[in-house]
Every structure is written in structure tokens, then in C-alpha cells.
Structure 1
Amino acid sequence: MAQPDTSATPSGTAAPEGLPDAAIAHPRTLPEAGRLGWLVDRVSVVFAAGIILAMAILVMEVVMRYFFGAPTTWAHETSTTLSAITFVFGGLLCVARNSHIRVVLLYDLVRGRAMQLLNALISLACMGSTGFFAWAAWKMVKKATIRPSGDFYLESSGSAWNSPAPAVIKIFLLLVLIVMSCQFMVLAFNYLRAARAHGRAVR
């Protein structure tokens, strides 16, 4: 009897049938992402549930509107807010899992220590850009939460329901950008440490 091929799995166990090769060859998060990446991955299930909840709300709205003639004033804004928050968090999850889109024309030409150094350089550049976007998001949050008089308020949608969804999304975007900047810093540090270890190993 032929033995199952276990070479593709990190643990040496048989790969589940039908699992994509990319899922077998790579863990859910980058090892260089550290504990922060692990935490981001674990929290992601909450936001995945948010998409399901948004879908359920839209289905309920269709039933209420077309079968009972009683449309709600909150379904559209709630589902839109849940979807927006989930998509924003998705960017952070892509960083932790290294699943974002990249152009690899030059990246694939390097190996070993050079690749680790390039990864560190990319992470530092991304940390700087996300830090800049976090600063810009903070300016938006200030306008959405602080009146010119200095009083605290939450920017609302101006609809019939008039929910504070715009302010909530802007605050969440700021928080995600801050965490994303920290994640890139962790990645840069661990890539540099790996490059240093690789340099010692080849001596």
C-alpha cells in the first residue's frame, strides 16, 4: 500500500485531502509576526462572524420590507458598518499572515540573508507609511469626535436612524493602523534578527 506523502506538511503528518498546497506549506501567521500576529489571527474569527451577521441582517431586511411591508431604519447602516469594520481588520490580518498582494519580480531573485534584509526593509517602509496613515486617521477622528467648542461628540450618519457609524469606523481605522504599524515593527525586528543569525551560520 502506498504511503501518504508527508513532506509538504511542517509537522511531518499526512496532509488532509483537498487542502491547498499553500495552506499546507505555510502556517496561518508568519513566525516573524510574533505574539501580536498570533493574537490578530485569533481575534479574526470575531470579525468573520461580523460578515455573517451583516448578511443575516440584510436577509431580515428583505423579509421585513417585501413580505411584511415594515422596513427597518437601521439594517442598511448596521450591515454597512459591520462590513467596513471587517474589511479594515482584514488589512491587519493580511499583514500577520503575509497574504497581501505583492509584486515579486525582484523579490524572487534574492535568497537567504539578502531576503531577510529585504523583508526587514519592506517592513520598515510599511511601518512608516502606516504610521503616517495613522496620523492622518487621528486628524479625522478628532473632527469626528471633538466639536470646535471642545465638547465630545460622535459624528452621526444624518439618516433617519442617525447612528454614530461614521465616528465608530474612523476610530476603529485609527486603532487598526496603530496596531498594523506595531506589527510591521515586530516583523522588521524579527527579520533583522533572522538575517543576523543567518549571517553567523554561514561563517
Structure 2
Amino acid sequence: MTGLEKPNEEASIADHKKPPKACPEAGLFGRIVNRMGIVFSVGILVSAGILFVEVVMRYVFNSPTTWAHETVVFLNACAFIFGGLYVAAHNKHIRVVLVYSMIPDGPRRYLDAVISFVCMVSTGFFAFASWSSIQRAIWTPQGQFHLETSGSAWNPPFPGTLKVFLFVIMIALTIQFFIYTLKFAFKAGAK
């Protein structure tokens, strides 16, 4: 290792210690989403703790819980659903980089706006399509509010809650991609 490599290595280590930031084009909305990420990260840690407690209760005390499995699934499902919005706020969503990286910077700015617009329309359609599922998950056929439950011995309202959460995240994704569309279109037009 030469002396020239050490500062780069130290800079790389320092970069890993910094908390991740939202893409500048994500705006205030993206920064809020970025900060909310800690809640879902803690949720994953809590689910690991719950699993540990369940293993101890089951195999040490021979007294398994009725709530651990469904709670862990719910917490991880929430983190997984939120993860889509989180990576969108960081502009790290899936794209075909083989083609994307071959396009020069000028046209790529326009492509970013087009990609954001297509993502906005897609997530808007997904939010719209999920509405019928939401209606069945939060209202009884008689029109009374009642969250869909799991049907297990514990019977928590996690399925209905997850469907509502997914709907909210799809709306938030639509908003995030709308912000990107405006910012990238303005950026492309300004250059």
C-alpha cells in the first residue's frame, strides 16, 4: 500500500460513517422520507428481538407466544413496503444502467424526466388499483369500519393495516416521482 492510497481509504471509511441522504432532486419530501427510514430500521431490530424472545419462550420455557410470528411478519412487511419509497427518495430505484450509462449527459437529463414521469404514472395507477382492495380491507359489507384481521388465534388487524399502508406508500411514491419529474424537467430545460 502506498501513501497515496491511505487518504482515499480514510475518506471511504468516513463516507460510510455518514448517514445516507436523500437525492437533492427529491426535495423536502425526500428528506422527510429519508428521516422516516430510521423508524422502519428500528422495526427490523425490534422484530429480531421478538424472534429471540419467541425462541427463548418456546424452547426454554416451553410456552410459545401466539403473537410473535404475525408481529415479526408485519414489522418486516412494513419495512419492505417503505423500502420502495426510501430507495426512490435516494433515486436508487431499478433502472437498466447498461443502456442508461451509455447515454450522454445532455439527453440523460431528459431521460431522467421521462423515467420519473413514467414511474409517477405507474405508481398512480397502482394506488388507484389498490383502492378496491382497501375498501374490502377496512369496511364490512354493511359499511361499518372494520380492519381486516388475520383469522389466527391472536387475530390482529395486520392484513388491513398493511393494505392501507401500501396504499399510502403508493400515493407517496406518486408524489415523489412527480417532484422528480418537475425537478429533472427543469434541470434539463435549464442546461
Q: 2:183 aligns with which of 184, 190, 200?
A: 190
Aligned residue for 1:17?
Answer: 13
**Hey, what does 2:38 align to over in structure 1?**
45
SS of the equivalent of 2:97 reads coil
- Counterpart in the other structure of 2:109: 116
C-alpha distance in structure 1 between counterparts of 2:35 and 2:22, whole Å: 10
Which one is further off, 126-135 or 103-112? 103-112
- Give aligned pairs, total: 188
1:167 aligns with 2:160: yes
Relative to total residues, which structure has the larger helix share, 1 or 2? 2
Question: What's 1:126 paired with?
Answer: 119
Percent identity of equivalent pairs? 44
Give the secondary-structure state (helix, strand or coil) at the position aligned to 2:101.
helix
Q: Alignment RMSD, CA only?
A: 2.2
Superposed CA offset, 1:30-60 (max 9, x none): 1111111111001100100000000100110
Give the unaligned 5+ runs of structure 1.
9-13, 199-203
- Say whether residues 1:61 and 2:61 are aligned partners: no
2:76 counterpart residue number? 83
Counterpart Cα distance in 1 of 2:164 and 2:111: 32
Runs of 4+ deviating beyond 6 Å = none
| Residue type of the alignment partner of 2:11 | A
Superposed CA offset, 1:114-163 (max 9, x none)? 11110000000000110111012221110001112111111000000000
Higher mean alpha-carbon deviation, 124-133 vs 108-117, is at 108-117
CA distance in 2, matches of 1:163, 1:17: 43
Q: Distance in 1 between matches of 2:98 and 2:53?
A: 47
The CA distance in 2 between the partners of 1:57 and 1:99, in whole Å, is 31
Which amino acid counterpart does residue 183 of structure 1 have in structure 2?
Answer: Q
Deviation of 1:69 after TM superposition, in Å, equals: 1.1
Q: Report the counterpart of residue 142 of structure 2 in structure 1.
A: 149
What TM-score comes out, normalization by structure 1 length? 0.86
For 1:94 and 1:72, the matched residues in 2 are separated by: 34
